Chain A
Amino acid sequence: MDNKPLQMGVGNSAFSNKKLPIIKKPQSLDSPQITLSEIPHLGKLNIRCAGDDRQQISKLTGYNLALQTNQLSSKAGRHAICLGPDEYLLLAEQGSETRLEKMLNSDKIINKIAVTNVSDALCALSLSGLKVRELLSKGCAIDLHPDSFGRNKSVQCDLALANVIIACIEANETDEFLCICRTSFAEYVLDWMIDAGYEFGIIARSYA
């Protein structure tokens, strides 16, 4: 087997064209108030299912799918986002998504389900810091005030000219948000965020 090209292309970082870290901040600030990074190599499964199957899937996978639309549940670094009444996005550590996919597809109890691996189709960004909501509000028409967009809230919306999923992982003085977009929009979203974050100071760096 010829391994050489495989090494060249492995991974699905959408930021491959960028030299990180990128820092943009007002002169008056010592350090940026927003941190932005891609969560690379994240396994992503799109699940379409209905009714009773949800319980069985939750039981098998350990994800909690008993969610309202536009909600998120997190457990041990794994997230489930309810995108619609019958649609979920599961985020898992790299590699585990194929195991989950196989497990769900071979289960005999589940009767109506579509499991699709979208790990490479989507790109996940992590945003944290004091001014994250303010940054997002420059391109997102959704009300991001903590009263209406608190912890574990998610939404599919436009961010400037890209369609994204936004989810609030932590809502406190240093908010943490997840922003998921199509991979081909990732560079645009990154550029847009760095530009929008200038006012508050932003650092785009590789994921810790």
Chain B
Amino acid sequence: MKQKQPHRLPANSQCITREKTVQFTFDGKKYIGYEGDSLASALLANGVSLVGRSFKYHRPRGILSCGSEEPNALIRVIRASSAEPNLRATQIEIYDGLIAESQNRFPNLKLDFLSINSLFSSLFPAGFYYKTFMWPASLWMFYEKIIRRAAGLGKVSTTDKDTDRYEHKYAHCDVLVVGAGVAGLQAAYIAATSGARVIIADENRQFGGWLLTDNDFNINNKPALIWANNIINKLHLMPNVTCLVRTTIFANMDDNFIVMAERVTEHLSQPDAHLPKQRLWKLRTAKTILATGAIERPLTFSGNDLPGIMLAAAIRSYIHRYDVLPGTRAIIFTNNDDAYYTALAIHQAGGFIRCIVDLRDNPKSFIITQIRNLGIDIRFGHAVIAAHGVRHIASVNIAKYDSKAAQPISNIDHIDCNLLAMSGGLNPVVHLHSQRKGNLIWDERTACYRPENKSDDWVAIGAANGTFQLARILSEATKIATSIISKLAKNNQRLEMQQTPEMPVSDEAKQNWAPLPVWSIESAQSYISDKTAFVDFQNDSTVADIKLAVREGYHSVEHVKRYTTTGMATDQGKTSNINAIGILANTLNKSITQTGTTTFRLPYTPTSLGAIAGRGIGSLFDPIRTTRMHSWHHSNDAKFEHVGQWMRAWYYPREGESFQQTINREVHATRHYAGLLDASTLGKIDVKGPDAAEFLNRVYTNNFATLPIGKCRYGLMLKEDGMVFDDGVTTRLAEDHFYMTTTSGGAAGVLAWLEELLQTEWSDLNVYLTSVTEQWSVASLSGPNAKAILKASMSEDTDITDDFPFMTMKDSFIAGLPVRIFRISFTGEMSFELNVPARYGLALWSHLMRVGKSFNLTAYGTEAMHVLRAEKGFIIVGQETDGTVTPYDLDMSWIVSKKKADFIGKRALARASMNEPHRKQLVGLITKDPDMVIPEGAHAVIDPNKELPMAMLGHVTSSYYSPNLKHSIAMGLLKDGLNRKGQTVFFPMLDGQAPIEAKIVDPIFFDKQGDRLRG
């Protein structure tokens, strides 16, 4: 298919490949472009200037810029894998089969129903959104529905999943250079020749920056691009240099942590499956050089948002870089010399310059003379008062303009045109500097904010530093890169600075860079309104909005930003912020410096969530840890529960069994016969050293110094605030060797805390801690038949079941496996915790299940374990406690030693407030209706019929149905609970059910004397 591209110029540019045509679709229509085209350049070449509708008023919008600052041309790109909204047409590279569509229009771009909004723009003034909150309040629910439908920009993928691959990568370097224009290339080259590890990255598809557009300068007496290509080739060949294209450095954070998004394959028609669409780089650099260039400012006048009105330098870029002339009859509107080069480019490309409108009164320079000699109409001291057109610019009003008085002072001319190039000066790209709270300085001469280079970590050079002339840029880049490397080389022997780096020589820049800042063009004409003089194109905020905000009392730049939403769109006001500050300053009659700036925040350009998530999705979202018995649980139909990262067997339903039926069966079996629990996830710490006993004595509330070898003891660990931190059974294996167990969830935290104590508080203690959580697999055998099963599982010569009292430990063998047996209990039944080296875990478990078959041994999961321990009133740290609970609150004063000189938390427990009656204390709860299980977390009140809000006594921490008691049981923390035993409390329900009535009782519901557990 051959198709005409009406705005394409004869082949000239090196940036596009004319031999390779590319077919793409925009809003359902097929077009042809060339390899190297951006979507914006290809659309302009095809004569498509209307590419979107604006956010609030749905006004027709075209392409404003040619870079990442683009506020208007937001596009949705659709792929088989996903669809991504709000991409800038100026950054999308076209590929064969690209499907792109415009946004914010219905049913189509030309006929958009919501463009009716622009007729009612007086209904959507600054602060419109906030005003709907204010009055009338009752209508907000109504407004909200309508606003929600109209608001929001772009549609995300309609498929369930984004199947594209996104990856992460960590990297380190000595020098990061952001931007590969003249300044960046020269700085990177100097840094690289010193041997430094350099990363140079640019958001565009090729290095070269504005040299790709402005190719009429010389460096070292050759065209600048030849110099640049030479440097680029050298950088690519240096092993210490990483060159990254299509890579946006979007975050500059503390300690020189830099985040960048590399678009690896999204510009390709058929990307390789093994390569990510995007790669997120997390970079640590010693120094950052910001060579991010500058962004041109629009001029603000009525109708300045019409398609066909573009930034002057962008037009030059489309002509020189893409061989595209966006319009044939052009008006140039400028306050500086740079736009004259655009006039020249349009002229040379065969376009007709209707006239140049220059706000300055009598500027003189080489380029102005050159343009005048071409016979082009130049009007100094004039302004474009308004632009007119329906879906494209068709004409402008021009008048002599007094910028001090802010008014036209002559008759208004009407000139037709189809292109308007505007230039309001340049803003250095200071975003990455701002993100690190770098200061900005207003430079009167160049009329821009430039960074105050005060940091050791980063420095801005070139246009990003407000240096706009080629010769000065080169010398600045050379000087600063040299000084950075000299500093780095002091502490790094790898680096060696050349004594006199080569300084490229360029012809002195031709233009006189002194723009005349005129922030908005005002007019008293009735048909010209400042309600269509746009400041922020993306968020549709106008000169009128800023003035209104000031009238309504918002004077701070931060307030005006939020009230008018200027600079708050996805482009973060790249083209609007400084103009807005200028207009605000004028309105307030203040200087720019007095008005101040807002802060640029990361990311520099929108970054897709896919890139941020990386591969941490699906099964790699979070590690799943399983025990060595997992395969048995799995093949025996266990249901699992996630406990932190651990996946534990929750319950083992038989066919047709409900959850509750399963739990009832498992609990019943364990109480009447025997049960086996996989307790491998329990935290385990080996405590070794001559001072081990003393150490434990200090970290537990009870006495461990006197614990005999071979004996086990339950301990509570507090933090310094006296609150319960962890619990577990610790066993003395030898004089200087203890085996500590912790809660499953607390294992890592306990080890870290104990290690901290040893390293910082008690470095005199000779104790070493080693985590052995995963060295041992643990099966907990529990129930009346436990002893018989253990006996049967052992050969006669290894049988140690006789004379094995409660809270003791023995080593032996089961089926040849070395096993460490603890006679401790978390169920209240006679129990043996069998520890084997983890590799034997499955063997032990399978062996016990086989042997136990004739003893009715039942595997039980964590849910049954909870019920069994709750029947006994045993606490679970983290369930009955929440960091605000003391041993006294748990009615466990028996475990707090009165004799020990000290232990962690002792002093805090002695504080008077610890014994105050209003503290919440652990109690048991028995419901009036035995089948009613109170939801965990339910709040207790004394009288449920009292007026709301009513005072709450406390809450339920654990609640289950106890099949052994044939009754619901619960534990809870209630204010003054210990003195309330026997009282009745109520638990109001959220769903409107009647409050549940319960009696406060002792939390030990079963076998109060503990006869069963001692055996």
Contacts and interface: CB of A to CB of B under 8 A. Distances in A.
A10 interface: yes
A121 B770 CA distance: 11
A89 to B, nearest CB: 11
B839 A114 contact: no
Interface string B602-638: 0000000000000110011011111110010000000
B770 A5 contact: no
B620 A2 contact: no
B887 interface: no
A188 B622 CA distance: 8
Interface string A104-134: 0000000011101111111000000000000
Interface residues of B, number: 55
B445 to A, nearest CB: 43
A185 B843 contact: no
Interface string A174-200: 000000001111011001100110110
B616 A161 contact: yes
A9 interface: yes
Nearest to A141: B170
B623 A161 contact: yes
A162 B689 CA distance: 30
Contacts of B728: none
A173 B625 CA distance: 35
Contacts of B626: 184, 187
Contact of A12 (B494, B616, B838, B844): B838
B60 interface: no
Contact of B773 (A121, A137, A162): A121
Given A138-B168, A145-B197, A10 B772 contact: no
B871 to A, nearest CB: 30
A96 to B, nearest CB: 16
Interface in B772-831: 772-776, 795, 815-817
Most A CB atoms within 10 A — which of B284, B625, B689, B837? B625
A114 B739 CA distance: 13
A187 B628 CA distance: 12
Given A2-B847, A184-B627, A140 B170 contact: yes
A143 interface: yes
Interface string A156-167: 000011100000
A1 interface: yes
Nearest to B690: A112
B766 interface: yes
Interface string B269-305: 0001111100000101000000000000000000000
A143 B197 CA distance: 12
B620 A9 contact: no
B744 to A, nearest CB: 12
Nearest to A198: B274
Interface size class of A (residues with CB under 8 A): 35 or more
Most A CB atoms within 10 A — which of B494, B768, B847? B768
Nearest to A1: B816
Contacts of A12: 838-839
B462 interface: no
A48 interface: yes
A116 B772 CA distance: 8
B811 to A, nearest CB: 14
A30 interface: no
Contact of B169 (A122, A137, A185): A137
Nearest to B847: A5
Contact of A120 (B172, B770, B775): B775
Contacts, number: 146
A140 B169 CA distance: 8
Contacts of B357: none
A121 B838 contact: yes
A76 interface: no
B818 to A, nearest CB: 10
B686 interface: yes
B772 A9 contact: no
Contact of A141 (B167, B282, B628, B817): B282
B841 interface: yes
Contact of A139 (B168, B624, B627, B689): B168
Given A1-B816, A161-B616, A196-B615, A25 B839 contact: no
A39 B225 CA distance: 55
B272 A8 contact: no
B795 to A, nearest CB: 6
B433 interface: no
A25 B839 CA distance: 33
A11 interface: yes
Contacts of B776: 120
B766 A9 contact: no
A116 B838 contact: no
B615 A195 contact: yes
B385 to A, nearest CB: 57
A6 interface: yes
Contact of A48 (B620, B770, B850): B770
B412 interface: no
A199 B273 CA distance: 9
Nearest to B737: A114
Given A25-B274, A195-B615, A188 B623 contact: yes
B272 A26 contact: yes
A16 B843 CA distance: 14
Given A5-B847, A121-B775, A191-B620, A199 B274 contact: yes
A3 B646 CA distance: 30
A137 B771 CA distance: 28
A137 B170 contact: yes
Interface string B818-862: 000000000000000000011111111011001000000000000
B171 interface: yes
B278 to A, nearest CB: 13
Given A182-B774, A184-B627, A10 B840 contact: yes
A139 B168 CA distance: 7
B774 A143 contact: no
Contact of B172 (A2, A138, A145): A145
Contact of B494 (A147, A182, A188): A147
Contacts of A198: 274
B774 A184 contact: yes
Contacts of B841: 9
Contacts of B171: 137
B574 interface: no
Contacts of A2: 815-816, 847
B686 A114 contact: yes
Contact of B846 (A9, A48, A196): A9
Given A5-B844, A27-B272, A160-B620, 5 more contacts: A9-B840, A119-B837, A138-B169, A139-B170, A140-B170
Interface of A: 1-3, 5-12, 16-17, 25-28, 46, 48, 86, 112-114, 116-122, 137-143, 145, 147-148, 160-162, 182-185, 187-188, 191-192, 195-196, 198-199
Give the 9 A-B CB pairs with smallest separation, nearest first: A9-B843, A114-B768, A184-B625, A48-B768, A188-B623, A120-B838, A114-B688, A12-B839, A143-B172
10 contacts: A8-B846, A11-B839, A12-B838, A26-B274, A27-B272, A120-B776, A120-B838, A140-B170, A141-B282, A191-B620
